[in-house]
Structure 1
Amino acid sequence: MPTPPDPVRRATAAEVARLAGVSPAVVSYVLNEGPRPVAPATAERVRDAVRQLDYRPNRAARALRVGSTGMVGLILPSVSNPFFAAFSEAFQAAAHQQGLAVIAASSDAVLAQEQELVESLPRHGIDGLVVATVMHLADSPALSDPGLPTVVVNAPFPVPGVHALGPDTRQGARLAVEHLLTVHGHRSVALVSGETAAERPTSRELGWSQAVSACNADTGPIVRVPFDRLGGLDAAQQLLALPERPTAVFATSDAQAFGLLHGLWSAGVRVPGDVAVVGFDGTDDGAYAVPPLTSARQPVAAMAAAALDALHLPPGSSHELFALDLVVRESCGCRPA
């Protein structure tokens, strides 16, 4: 019986062929299910040899033959942000179901770095690219063409030349703020918004503003900080330094909300007794906040699956928005179920 090859190197198709008593071409026909038929008994001998030698086809070599590596790229703004961590998990799970591998990279929420990755990742032989963008509407025409199927996610606006999708952030923000105003009777809601270079208000800020107008409420203070926990902590300090402390706050990301909750707790402020808080993202981490965080929830699994499916669309432009629902917990003032 042939001795398996040295475990420090991969077995080859030729070794599989020798063990099975067939030609390398027959090995290829069995593994690729064609183009020529192979007798069932012969095919079984090949599969037995593959298992004995732990043979794994060289994807790069196969790509040269059939034009596909079975790998897709994923660019994320941050791997520490709980929403993008959840999106990454959902995307990789969807890719696995299709037999695809994922190469992920972080742009550190820097647009220039995102653009560099859009240009560099295709050199690693990926078949398609999904970009969780930090672009704003004014930036979208500047997206580099990576020369392969590309889908932009985290996009509440269309992106010229590519298929794009994202949460309906205006609808989600309005849903969260209206809950504070109508269900809990607050007369105003402070806004903790992300720092951006955009000249126009973000869609989350527009949703907050529309909710305030629709409920004839007073416009609350706005604090602009990074979309992370430290930003939320800074926001808590700024809000508590105001002459009149707000009774309710809407944070435009769960990460900000977590920092905000910690900052309020550190200052002895009770949530929701003194200040009610709602977030945006609806991550699972919110269930473990103190108190558990009420938040507008993005449909992560649906968006991840849609992004992967959009890679197979014909070249062109499209834009799809996904509605959010509200995960009601205790930080807003609702009692636990």
Structure 2
Amino acid sequence: MTTSAVPAPRTQVTRKDVARFAGVSTAVVSYVVNKGPKRVAPATEAKVQEAIRLLGYRPNAAARALKLGSTETIGLIIPDNSNPFFSSLARAVEDAAAELGYALLLTNSDGNLAKERRNLRNLAARQVDGVVLSSVLFEPDLAELEFDDIPAVLLDHDADTPGFNSVGVDRVTAAKSAVEHLIGHGHTNIALAMGINTGNFMDGREQGWLQALTEAGLPEGPIVRSFFTRDGGYTAGQRLLASANRPTAIFASSDMQAIGVLRALREAGLSVPEDMALASFDGSAEAEYSWPALTTVEQPAQAMAEAAVAALIGARRGEKPEHRTFPTQLRVRNSCGCH
């Protein structure tokens, strides 16, 4: 059987055009495009796929969403995708979503509550099937999503929030392990470069730092609060060096802050770890390739992302919300004094 000629270019190629060109029914084209519900013989599927390629057919996403009751899209809100940790987290969420046939809409809040709420409104208006949110608040306002019955998962969240699915690590225990490691090197004056959070709540990383010092019988070291950025860390490093109670070691609440601290120390003519030891939190790739390489608490980005996407799908099926805590790992490198 000979196939019909390629139709002249038109505004939109339809499923009927593909069916006519491949010599099959429109139902068969639908089975191929949607990968079911009925199986299609390999030879027939090959003809349909060739017709789709030659004609440049693109399924109507709006019509498909209406038929399935799903846009097959997940929204993701993170503070800053230029931060290597959040960049890797976003990539892991995208990969996990794609494995289940979902596309990803990525937005940034810049750590700003107004932008976070605007992003939530925009995603709700697009009727996404769920939202993965790394919020600036411990208990974010998700009324926009709840009104449209859109499930949400709190990502990079360190405690159970009743009524919500959440995924994260025990920041208190994780930070404590890093500070205890610095104490093990003989440091008794350990500072904290702490990121600023919008909700003004005590971050688990600060709690872990304080617990480690208290249990070791050490005084509370100096604290400088700045943004979770390289520039924020740079400013924190300068202020700690100018402090009357200059520390001998610093725990930074993010790798990006630690990178900024490194610059401040270098500019002051200090060596790491000889003059000042340093440890951080996140476990981004940048921590491994800084100089010296950073001792850091590594969060399992891939496992957290996969759990977040799975929780969204589970919520759509009516499964009860839960909090999942993942273990961290202290990656010991050179900045703390280890070789």
Q: Give the TM-score of the pair, scaled to structure 2.
A: 0.91
Q: Which residue of 2 aligns with 1:72?
A: 74
Match of 1:321 among 316, 320, 325: 325
Query: Secondary structure of the equivalent of 2:163?
Result: coil
Q: CA deviation at 1:114?
A: 1.0
| Cα separation, 1, equivalents of 2:270 and 2:76 | 40
Query: Secondary structure of the equivalent of 2:173?
Result: helix
> Are 1:3 and 2:6 an aligned pair?
yes
Runs of 4+ in 1 over 6 A off after TM superposition: none
Query: Secondary structure of the equivalent of 1:196?
Result: coil
Distance change >3 Å, CA 9–CA 216, structure 1 → 2: farther
Q: Give the TM-score of the pair, scaled to structure 1.
A: 0.91
Asked if the contact 1:72/1:129 (under 8 Å) is kept, the reply is: yes
Q: CA deviation at 1:326?
A: 0.7
Q: CA deviation at 1:145?
A: 4.5
Q: Identity of aligned pairs, percent?
A: 45
Deviates more, 1:77-86 or 1:18-27: 18-27
Q: CA deviation at 1:73?
A: 0.7
Distance change >3 Å, CA 213–CA 24, structure 1 → 2: same
| Cα separation, 1, equivalents of 2:200 and 2:28 | 62
Q: CA deviation at 1:42?
A: 4.4
Q: Which residue of 1 aligns with 2:271?
A: 270
Deviates more, 1:273-282 or 1:86-95: 86-95
Asked if the contact 1:164/1:319 (under 8 Å) is kept, the reply is: yes
Query: Secondary structure of the equivalent of 1:89?
Result: helix
Asked if the contact 1:163/1:318 (under 8 Å) is kept, the reply is: yes
Q: CA deviation at 1:298?
A: 0.5
Q: Which residue of 1 aligns with 2:152?
A: 150
| Cα separation, 1, equivalents of 2:191 and 2:121 | 40
Deviates more, 1:22-31 or 1:293-302: 22-31
| Cα separation, 1, equivalents of 2:197 and 2:212 | 22
Asked if the contact 1:5/1:11 (under 8 Å) is kept, the reply is: no
Q: Which residue of 2 aligns with 1:132?
A: 134
| Cα separation, 2, equivalents of 1:34 and 1:154 | 36
Q: What are the equivalent positions in structure 2 for 1:6-25 lying under 5 Å apart?
A: 6=9, 10-25=12-27
Deviation per residue, 1:70-100 (Å, 9 max, x gap):
2111111111222111101111122222222
| Cα separation, 2, equivalents of 1:172 and 1:203 | 9
CA RMSD of aligned residues (A): 2.0
Q: Which residue of 2 aligns with 1:239?
A: 240
| Cα separation, 2, equivalents of 1:285 and 1:279 | 12
Q: CA deviation at 1:28?
A: 1.7
Query: Secondary structure of the equivalent of 1:223?
Result: strand
Q: Which residue of 2 aligns with 1:303?
A: 304
Query: Secondary structure of the equivalent of 1:104?
Result: strand
| Cα separation, 2, equivalents of 1:103 and 1:178 | 40
Asked if the contact 1:141/1:159 (under 8 Å) is kept, the reply is: no
| Cα separation, 2, equivalents of 1:74 and 1:320 | 18
Asked if the contact 1:153/1:307 (under 8 Å) is kept, the reply is: yes
Asked if the contact 2:278/2:336 (under 8 Å) is kept, the reply is: yes
Asked if the contact 2:137/2:198 (under 8 Å) is kept, the reply is: no
Give, as a single letter, the amino acid of the residue that structure 2 aligns with 1:334.
C
Q: Which residue of 1 aligns with 2:178?
A: 176
Give, as a single letter, the amino acid of the residue that structure 1 aligns with 2:289.
Y
Deviates more, 1:195-204 or 1:257-266: 195-204
| Cα separation, 2, equivalents of 1:2 and 1:302 | 50
Query: Secondary structure of the equivalent of 1:312?
Result: helix
Unaligned runs of 5+ in 2: none
| Cα separation, 2, equivalents of 1:38 and 1:94 | 27
